[in-house]
């Protein structure tokens, strides 16, 4: 049985001070002086901790989530994709190569692998573009303007569903092509995710992660402590992690670009995650990223690494190696020009995963693949500055906490409720009954578009072998569980 000592009613947690009697001796007499220690230090340390939880929570299992528009060029996303705005695509792009996810809209028989809050931009897509949604995943499009969903061929026979430009034939391009016969009437459905509220929360979480105290000491190649201010272009560094807690590494954008290789002496895990907070204020939030080579880890550790760009408004991945971990930049327009892969979630304002021009022969730029390794750790940390109350008898109040649990906005708090697939007209409930969401916090950042980044690589770009697309189907990679939904319909 657990025994809990109760304090008298009306007495605060600090009302039982520890009193030390200190004997002060003099030649003629002895004096006892009472020194009161409130015991507040432990309470402050506990209350001041910044609690983020899982930063990507609310993504409904989608590996790529944008608040606004997205362009998907010539490669693939191995997991499901959710686009808050309009979708444009190149000559050949695959979605859900490994998994369609498990976000199932009410009334559907299959998970939604591609969710578009806006419309399909046929005019802006490649004239020969085919975006394939694999693993028998469904498609949901919020705005049907300019599009038609077809699930019958010209002879009236049932066929795998395609979304083509309005008035065009089944085999026309550009088109979105499924590997399953989804009922055409269920393709166009709005309000399934509240991207505005979700990204308000994401910006708040990014800001709170930026408040975390840095507690990771970089080491040079000889294992000696290295001050980040001493990093020069081409520096190789090592990272040692402390087991059982969130490890926080803070770098400026220039310092990150100057690192050629990061060797992990310890592997990140679910209870030993790594948060890399990148400060881009020196370049006014506009960042050209030359990604370092990760050593000592692989995609198995990607679910426990997160790159936080709280203040970035524009990020261009210009060159470098694969990014191991989640890119969390909810204010940023991300443009990927690098053929290396991203191994983790992508949470950004807008995304261009390979521009449709500027590549070989003027075609799409190979931006590499986005592999499905959902972030899977709970983050908590100490604040950047923690007051240290000195022992006194003043009884002054302790500092208020700097962090709380991760807020969850209401999916119905912005705009009209989504229609029910059954035509009931009622607001969109969660099919799993996962519980009612809690109120949304106020947005902490403006969602204004940023200027185009300046391209100033600090080290020569690496060369990469040609991209070889996967076949339409291959054995699935092991998957990692992802957080519970909170911003739309639930999961089955």
pLDDT tens readout for residues 409-422: 444 333 334 444 33
Model confidence at 268, in pLDDT bands (50, 70, 90)? very high
Whether residues 100 and 156 share a domain: the answer is yes
Predicted local confidence at residue 204, as pLDDT: 98
Looking at the predicted structure, is the pLDDT value of residue 238 above 70? yes
Summary mean pLDDT of the chain? 79
Which of 186, 208, 233 represents a domain boundary (last residue)? 186
CA distance 485 to 346: 16
Whether residues 103 and 28 share a domain: the answer is no
Whether residues 92 and 26 share a domain: the answer is no
Predicted local confidence at residue 384, as pLDDT: 76
Looking at the predicted structure, is the pLDDT value of residue 336 above 80? yes
User: Is 348 contained in some domain?
Assistant: no
Whether residues 114 and 169 share a domain: the answer is yes
Model confidence at 488, in pLDDT bands (50, 70, 90)? low
For the ranges 111-120, 310-319, 449-458, the lowest mean pLDDT is seen at: 449-458
User: Is 69 contained in some domain?
Assistant: no
Which of 161, 186, 211 represents a domain boundary (last residue)? 186
Predicted local confidence at residue 219, as pLDDT: 98
User: Is 177 contained in some domain?
Assistant: yes
Model confidence at 154, in pLDDT bands (50, 70, 90)? confident
Whether residues 165 and 89 share a domain: the answer is yes
Range of the domain at 39: 18-47
Q: What is the mean pLDDT of residues 31-48?
A: 41
Q: What is the mean pLDDT of residues 325-347?
A: 98
Predicted local confidence at residue 59, as pLDDT: 99
Looking at the predicted structure, is the pLDDT value of residue 201 above 90? yes
Whether residues 126 and 182 share a domain: the answer is yes
User: Is 448 contained in some domain?
Assistant: no
Predicted local confidence at residue 436, as pLDDT: 38
Is pLDDT larger for residue 222 or for residue 32? Answer: 222
Whether residues 178 and 90 share a domain: the answer is yes
Whether residues 41 and 102 share a domain: the answer is no
pLDDT in tens, 50-90: 999 999 999 999 999 999 999 999 999 999 999 999 999 99
User: Is 414 contained in some domain?
Assistant: no
The count of structural domains within the chain is 2
pLDDT in tens, 96-153: 999 999 999 999 999 999 999 999 999 999 999 999 999 999 999 999 999 999 999 8
Looking at the predicted structure, is the pLDDT value of residue 453 above 50? no
Which of 186, 219, 236 represents a domain boundary (last residue)? 186
Looking at the predicted structure, is the pLDDT value of residue 3 above 90? no
User: Is 212 contained in some domain?
Assistant: no
Looking at the predicted structure, is the pLDDT value of residue 443 above 90? no
Report percent pLDDT > 70 for the chain.
68
Is pLDDT larger for residue 393 or for residue 359? Answer: 359
User: Is 180 contained in some domain?
Assistant: yes
User: Is 168 contained in some domain?
Assistant: yes
Looking at the predicted structure, is the pLDDT value of residue 444 above 80? no
Is pLDDT larger for residue 71 or for residue 7? Answer: 71
Model confidence at 49, in pLDDT bands (50, 70, 90)? confident
Predicted local confidence at residue 209, as pLDDT: 98
Whether residues 171 and 113 share a domain: the answer is yes
Predicted local confidence at residue 426, as pLDDT: 38
Q: CA–CA distance from 130 to each of 146, 166, 183, 335 (Å)?
A: 16, 16, 20, 21
Whether residues 176 and 92 share a domain: the answer is yes
Whether residues 89 and 36 share a domain: the answer is no
For the ranges 137-141, 260-264, 319-323, 433-437, the lowest mean pLDDT is seen at: 433-437
Predicted local confidence at residue 362, as pLDDT: 85
Evaluate if pTM is beyond 0.75. Answer: no
Predicted local confidence at residue 385, as pLDDT: 62
């Amino acid at each position: 049985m657990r025994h809990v000592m109760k304090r008298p009613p009306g007495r605060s947690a600090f009302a039982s001070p520890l009193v030390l009697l200190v004997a002060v001796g003099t030649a003629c007499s002895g004096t006892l002086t009472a020194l009161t220690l409130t015991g507040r230090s432990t309470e402050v340390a506990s209350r001041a901790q910044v609690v983020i939880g899982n930063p990507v929570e609310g993504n409904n299992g989608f590996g790529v989530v944008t608040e606004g528009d997205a362009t998907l060029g010539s490669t693939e996303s191995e997991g499901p994709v959710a686009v808050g705005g309009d979708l444009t695509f190149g000559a050949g792009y695959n979605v859900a190569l490994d998994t369609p996810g498990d976000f199932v809209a009410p009334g559907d028989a299959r998970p939604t692998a591609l969710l578009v809050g806006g419309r399909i931009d046929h005019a802006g897509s490649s004239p020969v573009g085919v975006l394939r949604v694999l693993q028998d995943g469904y498609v949901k499009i919020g705005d049907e303007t300019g599009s038609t969903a077809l699930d019958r061929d010209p002879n009236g026979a049932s066929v795998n569903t395609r979304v083509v430009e309005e008035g065009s034939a089944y085999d026309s391009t550009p088109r979105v092509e499924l590997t399953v016969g989804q009922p055409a009437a269920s393709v166009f459905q709005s309000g399934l995710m509240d991207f505005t509220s979700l990204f308000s929360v994401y910006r708040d979480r990014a800001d709170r992660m930026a408040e975390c105290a840095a507690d990771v000491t970089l080491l040079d190649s000889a294992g000696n402590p290295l001050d980040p201010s001493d990093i020069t272009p081409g520096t190789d560094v090592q990272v040692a992690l402390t087991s059982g807690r969130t490890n926080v590494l803070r770098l400026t954008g220039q310092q990150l670009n100057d690192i050629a290789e990061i060797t992990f002496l310890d592997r990140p895990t679910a209870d030993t995650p790594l948060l890399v907070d990148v400060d881009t204020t020196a370049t006014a939030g506009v960042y050209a990223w030359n990604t370092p080579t990760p050593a000592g880890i692989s995609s198995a550790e990607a679910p426990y690494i997160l790159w936080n760009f709280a203040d970035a408004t524009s990020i261009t991945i210009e060159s470098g190696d694969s990014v191991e971990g989640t890119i969390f930049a909810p204010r940023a327009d991300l443009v990927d020009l690098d053929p290396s892969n991203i191994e983790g979630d992508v949470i950004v304002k807008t995304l261009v995963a390979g521009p449709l021009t500027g590549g070989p022969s003027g075609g799409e730029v190979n931006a590499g693949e986005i592999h499905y390794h959902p972030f899977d750790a709970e983050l908590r940390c100490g604040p950047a500055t923690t007051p240290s109350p000195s022992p006194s008898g003043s009884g002054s109040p302790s500092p208020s906490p700097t962090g709380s649990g991760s807020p969850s906005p209401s999916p119905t708090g912005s705009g009209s409720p989504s229609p029910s697939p059954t035509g009931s007209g009622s607001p969109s409930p969660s099919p799993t009954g996962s519980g009612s969401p809690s109120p949304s916090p106020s947005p902490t950042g403006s969602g204004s578009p940023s200027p185009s980044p300046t391209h100033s690589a600090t080290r020569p770009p690496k060369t990469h072998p040609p991209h070889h697309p996967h076949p339409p189907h291959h054995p699935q990679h092991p998957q990692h569980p992802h957080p519970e939904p909170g911003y739309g319909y639930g999961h089955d």
